[in-house]
Amino acid sequence: MKRIKTISIFLLLFSSSTFAQQLDLSLIPYRQGNLWGYAYADKSIAIAPIFQNAKWFSYGYAAVEKGNRYGYINKQGFLVIPYKFYDAKAFVKGYFDSDEKHSAGGKVMQNEDSVLFAGAVIKLNGIERCIDTKGRVMTKCPAINENRPDNNQPILTVTNQIVYSLKSDANIFDKLVDDYHLPNNNNTYYIGLKNNKYGVINNTFDIIVPFEYDSIKRVNLNETVYLQVQKNGMTGLYTGTGDIFLQANKTRLSYATPTKETVYFIESQNGIARLRDVNNQDLINADYSDIAYDENGGFILTSSDNYKGYYFLDKKIIKPKYLEVRLVRGGNFLLVKTVTGKAGYVNADGVEYFTE
């Protein structure tokens, strides 16, 4: 039962920390043994550890747990919404359309440009409802603005094949299946087949990528093109102009685009994972059994003994020593599960906000 409890706490903490919110990083959830409170950045205690669980402050409120129920406290540590919820998330800012009506606690509320609300579970095994800052259930949940692109993709199966009627007098190819253009480049490039092997030519019939691959897929990343190739069960990557970017000796290849300006490539070869940038630089220069993109912005590192660490986009690294790690969305803090099975927070410099 204890193991189930620690896992569920980790999931509850993580579910609240990934929701769109305005994190207040001045007070950090701090665990002392089995109890939670809040600490300042220097780890001095701000609110004594007296809670079963404590979540991040957002807009002056934080959800805390006592007696297996959640309530909300303010930054002075005073309870402002009673312990009555089976789960409670951070307050976020939303809005109602000007012509909509809503109520909270049976009282009709005026529409505003924005309104604070939080998700909370009122009944055991019940659905999540929206509450206001008085803890009253709202008849309608406000809308929020949130754009989260799907940033972690395998490179395989990114385009559909097209059949072309263009013929080559020089018998360079049997048929063409796709084409692409590159920025500041007047050429047209064609992916084609010759004797059931894939290659790439340009519009003057120069062979850009030799016809020796089992497949070639076009990958559009940040307004440029890469070519993912496969040969004998292995995969690699070319640039759109036909330069080898990654040799076709990888067992796995994926990419991540945390922003519109950045692209990262994750490769696996002989059981070792690497992280590279668009300049083909190895960003970590260490051997990990796996590297996975975290949708909140960073990379989870897995060591050969299955411990987890983290690579931040500002190049800070937390060496693998935890059972689980995830980035808290909106801040440079990790939510980790320690070797004891308990949750805790760690900042990007490796400072741990917990004691066992």
Going by C-beta distance under 8 Å and a sequence separation of 6 or more, which residues neighbour residue 216? 191, 198, 199, 200, 209, 227, 228, 229, 230
* Residues of the chain above pLDDT 90, percent: 72
For 221, the token pair is 């990343």
Strands 28-32 and 354-355: what pairing?
A: parallel
- Residue type present at position 232: N
**Cβ–Cβ < 8 Å for 133, 142:** no
Q: Return the closest-CA partner of residue 193 out of 168, 169, 222.
A: 168
Is 17 a residue whose pLDDT tops 60?
A: no
Is 318 a residue whose pLDDT tops 50?
A: yes
- Residue type present at position 260: K
Average pLDDT over residues 299-303: 98
Q: Return the closest-CA partner of residue 13 out of 340, 348, 327, 349.
A: 327
At 5, is the pLDDT very low, low, confident or very high (cuts 50, 70, 90)? very low
- Of residues 81 and 17, the one with the higher pLDDT is 81
b/e per residue 258-276 (b: at least 16 CB within 10 A): beeeebbbbbbbeeebbbb
Going by C-beta distance under 8 Å and a sequence separation of 6 or more, which residues neighbour residue 241? 182, 185, 208
For 134, the token pair is 């008085």
Domain ranges of the chain: 19-131, 152-294
Between CA 252 and CA 51 the distance in angstroms is 44
**Cβ–Cβ < 8 Å for 155, 253:** yes
- Apex 208 CA angle, 206 and 210, nearest 5: 105
Q: Return the closest-CA partner of residue 158 out of 173, 189, 180.
A: 180
pTM, full prediction: 0.82
Q: Which of 61-70, 132-141, 336-345 has the lowest mean pLDDT?
A: 132-141
Between CA 94 and CA 296 the distance in angstroms is 21
Between CA 2 and CA 341 the distance in angstroms is 9
**Cβ–Cβ < 8 Å for 236, 249:** yes
Is 160 a residue whose pLDDT tops 80?
A: no
